[in-house]
Amino acid sequence: MCQYLIEGDLMGPTVSKEKDKDNRFDFCKLELGKDDNIATVYREDGVVAFMDANPAVEEGHVLVVPVKHYSFLTDMPPEEFAQLALVVQKIAAAVKRTYNTDSVKIEIFDGKGTGGTVNHLHVHVIPRYENDGFEPNSGKPVYWKTYSERHNGAKPSLDKLRSVAKKIAENIPK
C-alpha cells in the first residue's frame, strides 16, 4: 500500500497524484526520514511533524505523522501512539507560541468515512482564534476552505513552508 512519492502537484510538495484503491493519498514514500521533500518542523522516534502543503489557514497548519504506515488509529500499537501524542503536544505548544494564541485545533481523520483524503494516520495541528470564522457549535457546516481554494488554485511554495516550519521549530519546548 505504501507506494507513493512526493513530487506530484495535486497536494503540492507533500504527496503525489497516485492514490490507493479507495482514491486516497498516502505519505509512505514521502521519505519521511529525509527533509528533502517536506517542510520539516520536528522529528523524534518514528514521528515527523511537517507543514501541510494545502493548509486550512494562511500559516501554521502542521501535520504530525508516524513514519511507519498505519491507516487507522486502532492499527497503531499503544506505545507508538503515545509517542505520536507527545510530539503532537510539543507541536501544539510551539504553534500557540508562534502565533500568539491560546487555542489550537487538533484533528484526526480515522478512515475514509470521515472525509479524509490521506490513507496514512496523521494529526492536524491548526492555530485558532476567537471569531476566526470557524464556528463548530453554530449549526453551520464545519468547513474551512483550503489554501488553494482561497488562492485560485495556488499552493504555498516549499520555500515558504520551510520558512514557516523554521518559525514554529524555534518555539518547540525543550
The model's pLDDT over 137-147, given as tens digits with 9 standing for 90+, comes to 666 655 667 77
Whichever domain contains 100, its CATH number is: 3.30.428.10
Cβ atoms 126, 60 nearer than 8 A = yes
Q: Please, what is the average pLDDT of the chain?
A: 78
Domain count, the chain: 1
Catalytic annotation on 61? no
Residue-level pLDDT at 9 = 29
What the block records as the C-alpha cell of 67 is 513514519
Range of the domain at 128: 28-169
Whether residue 116 is contained in a domain is answered as yes
Within a domain: 141: yes
68-90 average pLDDT score: 94
* 46 sits in which H/E element: none
**Which of 61, 69, 120, 122 is the catalytic position?**
122
Q: Report how far apart, in Å, the C-alpha atoms of 3 and of each of 11, 30, 121 are.
A: 16, 10, 15
Which one-letter amino acid corresponds to residue 96? K
Q: Is the pLDDT of residue 33 over 90?
A: no
CA–CA distance, 28 with 2 (Å, rounded to integer): 5
Question: In whole angstroms, how large is the CA radius of gyration of the chain?
Answer: 15
Helix (H) or strand (E) holding 50: strand 47-51
Dihedral, 50, 2, 21, 49 alpha carbons, nearest 10: -10
Band the pLDDT of 29: cuts 50, 70, 90.
Answer: low
- Evaluate if residue 25 carries a pLDDT over 70: no
pLDDT for 85 equals: 97
Does the residue 6 lie in any domain? no
Q: Of 1, 101, 114, 14, nearest to 62 (Cα)? A: 14
Q: What is the distance between the alpha carbons of residues 15 and 44, in angstroms, rounded to a whole number?
A: 21
